[in-house]
Amino acid sequence: MAEAAPLLPNTSLADRAYRIRRNAVLMGEVQGQGYIAQALDIADVLAVAYFHAMRWRAEDPDWEGRDRFLLSNGHYAIALYAALIEAGIVPEDELESYGSDDSRLPMSGMASYTPGMEMSGGSLGLGLSIAVGRALGLKRKGSDSRVYTLFSDGELGEGSVWEAIMAAAQFGLDNMIAVVDVNNMQADGPSTQVTAFEPLVDKLEAFGWWVRRIDGNDLDAVRDAFDAALAAPAGKPRMIVADTLMGKGVPFLEQREKNHFIRVEAHEWRLALDALDAGRPA
């Protein structure tokens, strides 16, 4: 494994995002392929979620007072593992086991495998439904913990997502914060050409949600959106619509046309790490 660049003191969110991307690329190298473009596009959101917005304890991933993070798009597991490693919830040396037999880091995220993984994804469109129950349960307990859910624009095609969106509004679940990753790429092509989910902000507002749309790769905008979501009016569930760039931070991956599931030549992983290093904040 390549030597990790030393962690800067008072690590900035930008540096967290860099290290999440780096962890993801290293895991991609283990497999030689994977959902690496998604991991790169969502790293900024994960950096803000884990190192600015959420409460958690690395030594106690099931701590009752934690905020819950539900990964609905289970194939983004490589991204969440990268964040969990950066958070110290998953030991860094497990990175090399990603997607291998008997690993705690399977290719698709599952609740029983990985510390810090709250649900079993893989089948898309499950996360928001579970989040509704989590949010109801936390309110029942009088807990002020929040339920964060990450899902992807392709999942907007699942009817269950809209069932959950309506249920969250019905119950006034203001302890729910969802992030939809609009990277405009699903398995068969650009999401906006597959399903007419736009205008998304108008739709979600009409469904009773507080909504903020941002450039999901602008760290300041992401941080402000999470802050605004936390401070949004009571009684409304909150949605951050994050427009992101597949492969963000690695120019030759950003430019790849078919980047839903990427195959990368062996020598290119080094190039990807070099590109991340070049873009690392000073």
Going from the C-alpha of 166 to that of each of 97, 125, 129, 239, the distances in angstroms are 40, 14, 10, 13
Output the smallest distance, CB 173 to other proteins, in A: 10
Output the smallest distance, CB 58 to other proteins, in A: 21
Q: Determine the distance from the C-alpha atom of residue 49 to the mean position of all C-alpha atoms in its chain, rounded to a whole number.
A: 9
3-class SS of residue 195: coil
Q: Which stretch, 38-46, 156-164, 203-211, 268-276, contacts other proteins (CB under 8 A)?
A: 156-164
Footprint of other proteins on residues 31-70 (CB under 8 A)? Answer: none
Residue whose CB is less far from other proteins, 133 or 251? 133
Exposed/middle/buried for residue 218 (C-beta within 10 Å: 0-12, 13-18, 19+): middle
Q: Which stretch, 107-115, 219-227, 249-257, 274-282, contacts other proteins (CB under 8 A)?
A: 107-115
Which DSSP string do the residues of 47-67 spell out, in sequence order?
HHIIIII----TT-TT-TTSP
By the rule CB under 8 A, 131 interacts with other proteins: yes
By the rule CB under 8 A, 150 interacts with other proteins: no
Which DSSP string do the residues of 214-227 spell out, in sequence order?
EETT-HHHHHHHHH
Q: Which stretch, 12-20, 126-134, 202-210, 228-236, contacts other proteins (CB under 8 A)?
A: 126-134
d(CA 155, CA 158): 5
Output the smallest distance, CB 118 to other proteins, in A: 7
By the rule CB under 8 A, 133 interacts with other proteins: yes
By the rule CB under 8 A, 208 interacts with other proteins: no
**What are the helix and strand counts (H, E) for the chain?**
10, 7
By the rule CB under 8 A, 129 interacts with other proteins: yes
Going from the C-alpha of 121 to that of each of 73, 184, 208, 258, the distances in angstroms are 6, 20, 26, 23
* Residues at the site binding other proteins, with contacts judged by CB under 8 A: 110-112, 118-120, 122-123, 125-126, 128-138, 140-141, 159-160, 163-164, 166-167, 170-171
